[in-house]
């Protein structure tokens, strides 16, 4: 039977990030996607113009509808907006005993709009991170959660350890916002102190809308299919590398990534992107 997954996230009317990016990624990778909408954003490649959060009871009702009928093999959370929605999300995950929980702690959109209220960061740490198999902050998000500046590899490791102190099994600090001009480097650390670096050549492109959502959705798919966390991160890195490599040039701003590129690369001899893993 096809594996079923869930995304709990905001809608991006521009289709490049949020629920839309997640569902496209799930579809490309061959799993069945259910979704719980937490907020509707009026958004395009130039930015977010308006945000309409769902009432917490609407989030709860969607979680119950999904939980009562589907066999969720893995799930991801994205934009959760406020503490009440985080609370409902955590309750739903606990009520249905869902495992393989990927928390993408979405905070700020590329154009600067806030997708998580400041007061909700504490709720994220207290209620959601303890349920996470893996949490996938970008560098600014990792700084907010840890309360530390990330300036180099030493402070990145310290921030990762601080994030794990809130209870997630593991963390991937993504490198899209890193300063290395040649490499996009994602740093993995788990509760056993094991660390890994997943490295790919940095692609020079403005078509980066929704990279984080797409990466986390691909990772979630791997977990749903029974891959190890290592394999799931590796495949997610290949997926995003392909999606950034073949630009779509849609919209006038930060355009969406190309969710169909990974499957195309699989069909080409030597087309799959190599990811370097440093132990």
Looking at the annotation, which residues are catalytic? 174, 208, 210-213
Whole-number minimum distance, CB 247 to ligand ATP, in Å? 11
Q: Among ligand ATP, ligand HMH, none, what binds residue 221 when CB lies within 5 to 8 Å by partner kind? A: none
The nearer residue to ligand ATP, 64 or 113, going by C-beta atoms, is: 113
Whole-number minimum distance, CB 40 to ligand HMH, in Å? 9
- Torsions phi, psi for 185 (to 5 deg): -120, 120
Chain residues binding ligand ATP by CB under 6 A are: 17, 110, 138, 174-177, 184, 186, 200, 202-203, 208-213, 215, 237, 240, 244
Chain residues binding ligand HMH by CB under 6 A are: 9-10, 12, 17-18, 41, 43, 78-79, 106, 109, 115, 210, 212-213
Whole-number minimum distance, CB 140 to ligand HMH, in Å? 12
Q: Among ligand HMH, ligand ATP, none, what binds residue 78 when CB lies within 5 to 8 Å by partner kind? A: ligand HMH
Q: CA-based Rg of the chain, rounded to a whole angstrom?
A: 17
Whole-number minimum distance, CB 223 to ligand ATP, in Å? 16
Smallest CA-to-CA distance from 209 within 41, 12, 36, 24 is with 12
The nearer residue to ligand HMH, 87 or 212, going by C-beta atoms, is: 212
Token pair 């979680």: residue? 63
The nearer residue to ligand HMH, 9 or 83, going by C-beta atoms, is: 9
The nearer residue to ligand ATP, 181 or 270, going by C-beta atoms, is: 181
Sheet arrangement for strand 32-44: 47-53, 32-44, 4-12, 72-77, 101-103, 134-135, 170-173, 183-190, 195-201, 276-278
The nearer residue to ligand ATP, 4 or 238, going by C-beta atoms, is: 238
Smallest CA-to-CA distance from 207 within 110, 101, 106, 118 is with 110
- Give the CA distances from residue 172 to residues 46, 108, 187, 218, in Å, rounded to whole numbers and listed in that order: 27, 18, 5, 14
Q: Among ligand HMH, ligand ATP, none, what binds residue 240 when CB lies within 5 to 8 Å by partner kind? A: ligand ATP
SS3 percent helix, strand, coil of the chain, rounded to 5, is 40, 25, 35
Strand partners, 278: 197
Whole-number minimum distance, CB 91 to ligand ATP, in Å? 25
Residue 192 contacts by C-beta under 8 Å, 6 or more apart in sequence?
none
Q: Among ligand ATP, ligand HMH, none, what binds residue 237 when CB lies within 5 to 8 Å by partner kind? A: ligand ATP
Distance CA 111, CA 99 (A): 33
């Amino acid at each position: 039977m096809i594996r079923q997954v869930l995304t709990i996230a905001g809608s991006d009317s521009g289709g490049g990030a949020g629920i839309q990016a997640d569902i496209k990624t799930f579809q490309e990778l061959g799993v069945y996607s259910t979704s719980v909408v937490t907020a509707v954003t009026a958004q395009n490649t130039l930015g977010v113009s308006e945000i309409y959060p769902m009432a917490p009871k609407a989030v709860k009702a969607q979680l119950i509808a999904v939980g009562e009928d589907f066999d969720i093999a893995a799930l991801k959370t994205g934009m959760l907006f406020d503490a009440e929605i985080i609370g409902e999300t955590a309750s739903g995950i606990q009520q249905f005993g869902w495992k393989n929980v990927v928390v993408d702690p979405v905070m700020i959109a590329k154009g600067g709009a806030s997708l998580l209220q400041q007061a909700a960061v504490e709720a994220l740490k207290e209620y959601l991170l303890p349920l996470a198999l893996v949490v996938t902050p970008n560098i600014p998000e990792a700084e907010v959660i840890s309360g530390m500046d990330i300036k180099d590899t030493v402070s990145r490791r310290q921030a990762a350890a601080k994030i794990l102190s809130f209870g997630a099994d593991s963390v991937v600090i993504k490198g899209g916002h890193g300063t290395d001009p040649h490499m996009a480097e994602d740093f993995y650390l788990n509760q056993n102190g094991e660390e890994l670096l997943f490295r790919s050549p940095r692609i020079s492109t403005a078509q980066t809308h929704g990279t984080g959502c797409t990466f986390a959705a691909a990772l979630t798919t791997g977990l749903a299919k029974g891959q190890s966390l290592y394999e799931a991160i590796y495949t997610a890195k290949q997926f995003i590398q392909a999606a950034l490599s073949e630009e779509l040039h849609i919209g006038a701003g930060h355009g969406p990534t190309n969710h169909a590129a990974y499957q195309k690369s699989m069909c080409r001899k030597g087309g799959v992107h190599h990811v370097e893993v440093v132990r």
